Amino acid sequence: MNISSNLIATEQRLGANNYKPLDVVLTRGEGVHVWDTDGKRYLDCLSAYSAVNQGHCHPKILAAMVEQAGRLTLTSRAFRNDQLAYLYEELAALTGSHKILPMNSGAEAVETAIKAVRKWGYEVKGVPEGQAEIIVCANNFHGRTLSIISFSTDPDARAGFGPYTPGFRIVPFGDAEAFAAAINANTVAALIEPIQGEAGVIIPPAGYFTRVRELCTANNVTLILDEIQTGLGRTGKLLAEEHEGIEADVTLIGKALSGGFYPVSAVLSNSEVLGVLKPGQHGSTFGGNPLACAVARAALKVLTEEGMIENAETMGAYFLEGLRSIRSNIVRDVRGRGLMLAVELEPEAGGARQYCYALKDRGLLAKDTHDHTIRLAPPLVITRQQVDWAISQIEKTIT
């Protein structure tokens, strides 16, 4: 048995069986590439679900992490540290936020937003205690906690974990009229992904978010956009909301906020929603720690200063055009925005996973989602030459 076989066997023997990864054991990463334990190089077209937008092991983020790790890593929020205020300033300047609450994982950011908008609903909007409702969309993915899976429509994510948290109303994604019909006097918020990533890169019809924004404003409903996967350059804009020229009341970011070095997330808000939280009502030991803040500051800096967002827009359009030029009778649809792309296969193709294994053998790592879709999301530093190579491997695999 070689080293990778040994490691896979140990994982299967000792680990909980809650993931089904492709059988490749990675040991090193740089830029758009990763290497396995046998020394084989791959083009990473998943970017850890968009957490490594800046590329693997970006040297400037690494330097910031090492420097801060040698000075101070954690104080808890019982005391102040000299990095948090700077992160607040830089995030506010970049996104126009008035209030910021730092957490660790994306799911924690979602839970934070749910708590805050419910409290806002009771204390500001005047919804009767315990009656707050949040509108969410079918086929959403916002995380794995109990409250979040309570409003999932994915049986794998939800089944067997009840009793479920009440207070959510599910409507079809992209249907503004269904959204309008779901609003009532107890609606405190809507929680939506600008593009549904886990569902297979589902892009809503043009004008959908403009209408949702109008409806939220007219009915005093807080619009929460989950930009944990779509935000920070992935779609060719800093935030995906910019494609429709709208502004959310609350924006959730995570993943690429640390460039893949450390779990960092944040709730970005107007003053009204986060303003309802008082000391002792919500928090996290690690949220806003100095190491996280230093890493996030460096991650944001390289993202904006090194032209990664613009590159995502240019290379994304080029990649999409190349994928659409592939002629294959098993391709049902090709879609995307920026470097968030998907190739959906016909059901008779036999599932996307086998094609992901074939791509792995050719040196390209991608992940299947919802049985028939190959999702493609390379780091935002990808070059035209690398996109050409990726398209050629995909073409050879699916024709």
Just list the catalytic residues.
141, 226, 255
Alpha-helix residue ranges (DSSP H) falling in 58-186:
59-69, 84-95, 106-120, 146-149, 155-158, 176-182
Provide CB contacts within 8 A for 174, sequence distance 6+.
Answer: 202, 204, 205, 208
Return the structure tokens found at 333: 């649809």
Return the structure tokens found at 276: 């309802």
245 φ/ψ sector (left φ>0, alpha ψ -120 to 50, else beta): left
Distance CA 260, CA 312 (A): 17
Provide CB contacts within 8 A for 163, sequence distance 6+.
Answer: none
Q: Give exposure, 275-294, as e/b (b: 16+ Cβ within 10 Å).
A: bbbeeeebebebbbbbbbbb
Burial class (CB in 10 A: 0-12, 13-18, 19+), 205: exposed
Amino acid at 349: A
Beta-sheet pairing, 265-269 with 33-36? unpaired
Angle in degrees, 0-180, between the axes of helices 84-95 and 290-305, rounded to the nearest 10: 30
Distance CA 348, CA 64 (A): 49
- What number of CA atoms fall less than 13 Å from residue 309's CA on the CB side? 17
Amino acid at 204: P
CB 261 within 8 A of CB 54: no
CB 378 within 8 A of CB 57: no
Provide CB contacts within 8 A for 94, sequence distance 6+.
Answer: 238, 300, 304
**CA-CA distances (angstroms) from residue 12 to 5, 78, 115, 222, 330?**
11, 40, 37, 44, 33
> 3-state class of 150 per DSSP?
coil
